[in-house]
Amino acid sequence: NSKLFSFLYATMYAGTEIMGRYLHYLPMFLHDLPILIPSSEDIIQISNLVNAILSTTDNKNKQKIDNMIDDKIFQIYGCNKEEVEYITEYIGLNLKK
Structure confidence by residue, pLDDT tens digits, 5-36: 788 777 766 555 555 556 656 666 667 777 88
- Domain layout of the chain by residue ranges: 3-96
C-alpha to C-alpha distance for 94 and 21, rounded to whole angstroms: 8
Angle (nearest 5°) at CA 70 between 16 and 86: 65
Prediction pTM value: 0.77
pLDDT of residue 60: 95
Tell me the per-residue pLDDT of 26-64, one tens digit each, with 9 for 90 and over: 666 667 777 889 999 999 999 999 999 999 999 999 999
Q: What percent of the chain has pLDDT over 70?
A: 75
